[in-house]
Chain A
Amino acid sequence: MSYELTYKEVVKGYLERKGRTTEIVLPVLEEIQEKLGFIPRGAIEYLAEILRISPSVIYSTATFYHFFSLEPKGEIVLRVCRGTACHVMGSSLIMGELFSELGLEDEGTTPDGKFTVESVGCIGCCSTGPNMVIIKDGKEEIVGHLTPMKAREIIRSLRKEVSESSVGVE
């Protein structure tokens, strides 16, 4: 499968550049996460085999950092900034709005695999909060000055886009 090809290539690329050192673990996982949208189990085992260490060590690293996900994420990822400035300007209301609009109980992916809602520490656009990062088709867009109503409108228009684009696939 192409997944396997991708992560093997990533690992090999770093091996050539840096040699057999655990220093490549984070950069490798980051690149796999970026390319595939998640880290497949096979990638963890493969990397462990190459570096001759236990898969549990890699697993421990992969599950420690927020940036990595062992499950595929939704087509559209919504990352709500939970920095201090965004918080006092009402980011929890934005989060609540996303949950109620998408029928989620907590951070995670919708059952149809279209949307993932998560929080991010701080994206450093504190003057324009509350902020949210929309990740779609590998592109990141930051939307600021959110209100629950604006957030709802964004979801509704995104949902339209997603359902239109997937008509052909189904």
Chain B
Amino acid sequence: MERYTEKDLIRIREEYGRRLEERKKRKIEPGKKYILTCGGTSCLSIGGEKSTYELFKKVVAEKGIEDVEVINVGCMRMCSEGPLVALYPGGVLYTRVKDEETVRTIVDALKEDNPYIDEDHHYKDPLTGEVIHHMWEIPFFKYQESIILGRVGLIDPTSIEEYIGAGGYFGLLRALRMTPQEVIEEIYNSGLRGRGGAGFPTGLKWKFARQAQGEPKYVIANGDEGDPGAYMNRAEMEGDPFALIEGLTIAGYAVGASKGYIYTRAEYPLAAELVEHAIQVAKEKGLLGQNILGTDFSFDIEVFKGAGAFVCGEETALIASIEGKAGRPRPRPPFPAQKGLWGRPTVINNVETLMNVALIMERGAEWFKGIGTQKSTGTKVFALAGSLNVSGLVEVPLGTPIKVLVEDIARGAPQGHTLKAVQMGGPSGGCVPIEHFDVGIDYESLRSVGAIMGSGGVIALDESSCMVDVAKFFIEFTKNESCGQCTPCRDGLVEMYDILTRITEGKGKREDVEKLEKLATVVKNTSLCGLGQTAPGPVLSTLTYFKDEYMEHVENKRCPAKVCLPLIEYYILPYACKGCTICAKNCPVNAISGDPGKLHTIDPEVCIKCGTCMAVCPFDAVVKKDAYEERGELYERSQH
């Protein structure tokens, strides 16, 4: 077993650092080539039976090409265009590489030193139509600042050498030369705040735990990323697991803990596997375990998999869960920093927070403070999804306006759609309407418009989303995930859900909206833990900005976005129907009748409103109609 010393780290950094520099070159050069395939869950799920990595390995071996190295890396971020493949030097990005044929085309192109292929497999800008080959010229990447994701998607997550080559473990090395108090001071000075959403200063949390009485102490990485629409932590763990381990080790040193846990979700099997592998390797190299890097400091890490409970993202519930109990939160204080796991002082930090820790210790607090705003330093990774042309993971300095994320990076809504809001912070967050898109993303500014930073999920909503339905969706989620311990959350959310259901079914009254608002405020103010306290956010923010949509449902029994099924009917436009019978053939419940060549009609009694007829009709003859659009009216319109 080879245990690394400082000298080894320096040697490896030089050797692998050089390789990485070569790999990052922007100019296409003859000689050794690196093919990076995205190994993120999303890209893997779009591909076929064999992953793009396996396909490239196979084709390169078959053709007997030397000087080409295929490396499976973490998430390459532009998930909507996946599976992604990058060629270095040059940073040429290939998109939608799903089949062996495309892989062969790319490998053949390598030989000719003209690596571009057909435009279907390169990024084509949805706004300008321009085909852009190189990653750093693509707007999606151009506007990002990648400090956390810099290594994700570039290095092999299973190689500790590549991690060291990219500067890894020099943060720990520096920390071990300082006293724990100095490390805490450094983190405090960097201004780093918790990336799990609440934004508590990390250095302060550490200081409390350091000063607290009780042995042993524990540090825990919170990777229980339960927010629907958020997968930053997964990509971070899958793409750069050593950084998390390094960050947690530094936390352990600073706080005085000898044991750390990485708590992740059962839904993320790949992340758990890669983190476990990294722990094993770090142990073998003496970067984890007894006497790390030859010092007196010993530290061990264990991976703990959650079992599917959103509330376990709350720190006291997470602790209960490790202790083998149902994940029910308990009142704070005492805070975990005083009484945590097994009643001992415990620090719980988000995965991304700890990855920042490793970087801050490597590059210094001053460097970190130079990024972001004065009160919110550093960057934040967001998961962009919803009605956007390009979507995936993005990292920007804190303080970046929402507009930059949505318009510059994600290139706005697809043609024919108009954005009306973004939902930020998941079930604990809120909806920010388009008129506030120039708000900078930092902890305070977002709170001022009724949203929260949250863990980083950003979902863009267009005119086809009903805001009442979105609010109902989140309340349904939090109602199901409530641990049931305190009354406001357990019963309040059920009552809110019932009201929202009534409204979306067209049975709501004006008083219901008032009652909903009142109830939301009570749940927010009186719940025991963060889940209940923040759960009304989606309702309160949509009531603030989109009350008109609620009122349409209540007063006119109409869903303007035509989403709420009880308020719509599918209808075939007589003038447009050619009697082609396709809709009738595809209807799963045989609700459509009509002779070939003649007008078809839908029986509303039988129809389950699945929308298949609308999707398959070649003449756009099937429409959704609501209370405003009586059949006659539609027919009349067709006559003009």
Chain A interface residues (CB < 8 Å from chain B): 21-27, 29-30, 57, 60-61, 64-68, 82-90, 93, 96-97, 100-101, 120-129, 131, 140-144, 147-149, 152
Q: Does any Cβ of A come within 8 Å of B321's Cβ?
A: yes
Which residues on the B side are within 8 Å of A101 (C-beta)? 588
Closest to A141 in B: B45
A150, B481: Cα distance in complex, Å: 30
Closest Cβ–Cβ distance, residue B149 to chain A (whole Å): 15
Residues B307 and A67 in contact, CB atoms below 8 Å apart: yes
Q: Which of B45, B304, B457, B461 contacts A27 (CB 8 A)?
A: B304
Interface of A is mostly: helix
* Stretch in B60-68, B324-332, B596-604 touching the partner: B324-332
Contacts A121-B267, A127-B82 known; 6 new A-B pairs at CB < 8 A: A23-B323, A24-B324, A84-B474, A89-B386, A124-B225, A152-B588
List chain A residues, Cβ under 8 A from B225. Answer: 124
Q: Does the CB pair B324–A124 fall under 8 Å?
A: no
Point out the residues of chain B lying under 8 angstroms from A123, CB to CB: 41, 267
Within 8 A of A (CB), among B584-613: 586, 588-589, 608, 610-612
Max chain B C-beta neighbours (<10 A), residue from A26, A93, A123, A127: A127
18 sample A-B contacts, Cβ–Cβ < 8 Å, listed by A number: A23-B322, A23-B324, A66-B308, A82-B228, A84-B385, A84-B423, A87-B228, A88-B464, A90-B611, A121-B226, A122-B267, A124-B231, A124-B235, A125-B41, A126-B42, A126-B79, A147-B612, A152-B612
A22:B308 contact, CB within 8 angstroms? no
Residues of A within 8 A of B386 (CB): 84-85, 88-89, 126
Q: Are A100 and B45 interface neighbours, CB within 8 A?
A: no
Q: Are B426 and A84 in contact (CB under 8 A)?
A: yes
Q: Find out whether the CB atom of B611 lies under 8 angstroms from the CB atom of A93.
A: yes
Q: Which residues of B contact A97 (CB under 8 A)?
A: 588, 610
**Contact of A84 with B228 at beta-carbon distance under 8 Å, contacts A22-B325, A27-B304, A30-B305 already known:** yes
Contact B307–A68 (Cβ < 8 Å): yes
Distance in Å: Cβ of B322 to nearest Cβ of chain A: 6
- In the bound complex, what is the Cα–Cα distance between A65 and B480 (angstroms)? 11
Interface code B414-429, partner A: CB below 8 Å = 1, 0 otherwise?
A: 0000000001001000
Whole-angstrom distance between the Cβ of A49 and the nearest chain B Cβ: 15
The residues of B that contact A122 with a CB separation of less than 8 Å are 226-231, 267
Report if B268 contacts A (CB, 8 A): yes
Residue ID in chain A nearest B561 by CB atoms? A88
Determine whether the beta carbon of A61 is less than 8 Å from that of B324: yes
Q: How far is the CB of A146 from chain B (nearest CB, A)?
A: 12
Q: How far does the alpha carbon of A60 sit from the alpha carbon of B321 in the complex, in Å?
A: 12
Which single residue of chain A is at the shortest CB-CB distance from B232? A124
* A39, B211: Cα distance in complex, Å: 43
Chain A residues near B229: list those with CB within 8 A.
Answer: 83-85, 122, 126
Q: Are B325 and A61 neighbours in the complex by a CB distance under 8 Å?
A: yes
The CB with the most chain B CB atoms within 10 A, among A65, A93, A152, is that of A65
Residues of B within 8 A of A148 (CB): 588, 610-612, 615
Closest partner residue, chain A, to B234 (CB atom): A124
Q: Which residues of B contact A100 (CB under 8 A)?
A: 588-589, 608, 610
Q: Which residues in A have their C-beta under 8 angstroms from that of B234?
A: 124
List chain A residues, Cβ under 8 A from B231. 122, 124-126
Q: Is B371 an interface residue (CB 8 A)?
A: no
- From B45, B307, B310, B470, A125 is in contact (CB under 8 Å) with B45
Pairwise interchain contact B309-A60, C-beta atoms closer than 8 A: no
The answer for the CA separation of A131 and B45 in the assembled complex, in Å, is 10
**Contacts A100-B588, A122-B227 given: A66-B307 contact, CB under 8 Å?**
yes
What is the distance, in angstroms, from B482's C-beta to the closest C-beta of chain A?
12
Contacts A84-B426, A96-B610; A26 near B385 (Cβ below 8 A): no
Asked if A22 contacts B323 (CB within 8 A), the reply is yes
Flag whether B138 is at the interface (Cβ < 8 A): no
A141 to B267, CA, bound (A): 12
What are the 6 tightest A-B residue pairs by CB atom distance, in nearest-first order?
A124-B231, A25-B324, A126-B385, A22-B324, A66-B308, A142-B45
Please tell me if the beta carbons of A57 and B477 are within 8 angstroms of each other in the complex: no
Q: Which residue, A57, A61, A84, A87, has most C-beta atoms of chain B within 10 A?
A: A84
B45 touches A84 (CB 8 A): no
CB of B363, distance to nearest CB on chain A (Å):
29
Interface residues of B in 491-507 (CB under 8 A from A): none
Chain A hits for B608, CB < 8 A: 96, 100
Q: Which of A25, A66, A84, A140 contacts B309 (CB 8 A)?
A: A66
Q: How far is the CB of B375 from chain A (nearest CB, A)?
A: 28
- 255-274 of chain B: CB within 8 A of chain A: 266-269
A-side contacts of B434, CB under 8 Å: none
If A124-B42, A149-B615 touch, whether A27 touches B305 (CB-CB below 8 Å) is yes
Q: Tell me the smallest distance from the CB of B346 to a CB of chain A, in Å.
A: 14
Write out the residue numbers on chain A whose beta carbons fall within 8 Å of the beta carbon of B80: 127-128
The yes or no answer to B534 lying at the interface (CB within 8 A) is no
Rounded to whole angstroms, the CA-CA distance of A165 and B162 in the bound complex is 46
Given the complex of chains A and B, what is the CA–CA distance between A67 and B465 in angstroms?
30
Known A-B contacts A85-B459, A124-B268; A65 and B612 likewise in contact (beta carbons under 8 Å): no
Partner of B79 from A26, A82, A125, A143 at Cβ < 8 Å: A125
Complex CA–CA separation, A129 to B305 (angstroms): 25
Minimum CB–CB distance from B310 to chain A (whole Å) comes to 6
Residue of A nearest to B49 (CB): A141
Q: How many Å from the CB of B383 to the closest CB on chain A? A: 6
Nearest Cβ on chain A to B522's Cβ, whole angstroms: 25
- Say yes or no: A65 contacts B227, CB within 8 Å: no
Q: Does B387 contact A (CB under 8 A)?
A: yes
Residues of A within 8 A of B268 (CB): 124
B279 → A minimal CB distance (Å):
15
**What are the residues of chain A within 8 A of B391 when measuring CB–CB?**
126-127
Asked, given contacts A100-B588, A144-B45, whether A88 binds B307 with beta carbons under 8 Å apart, the answer is: no
**B326 and A124: CB pair below 8 A?**
no
> Nearest CB to that of B42 among chain A residues?
A125
Query: Within 8 Å of chain A (Cβ to Cβ): is B546?
Result: no
Q: Does B89 contact A (CB under 8 A)?
A: no
Alpha-carbon distance A141/B143, docked complex (angstroms): 34
Which residue of B is nearest A125, CB measured?
A: B42
Among B79, B231, B327, B387, the most chain A Cβ lie within 10 Å of the Cβ of B231
Q: When the two chains form their complex, are residues B45 and A93 in contact, meaning their CB atoms are under 8 A apart?
A: no
CB neighbours (8 Å) of B383 from chain A are 124, 126
Q: Is B34 an interface residue (CB 8 A)?
A: no
In the bound assembly, the distance between CA atoms of A10 and B387 in angstroms comes to 46
Residue on A nearest B476 in the bound complex, by CB: A82
Contact of B457 among A29, A84, A125, A142 (CB under 8 A): A84
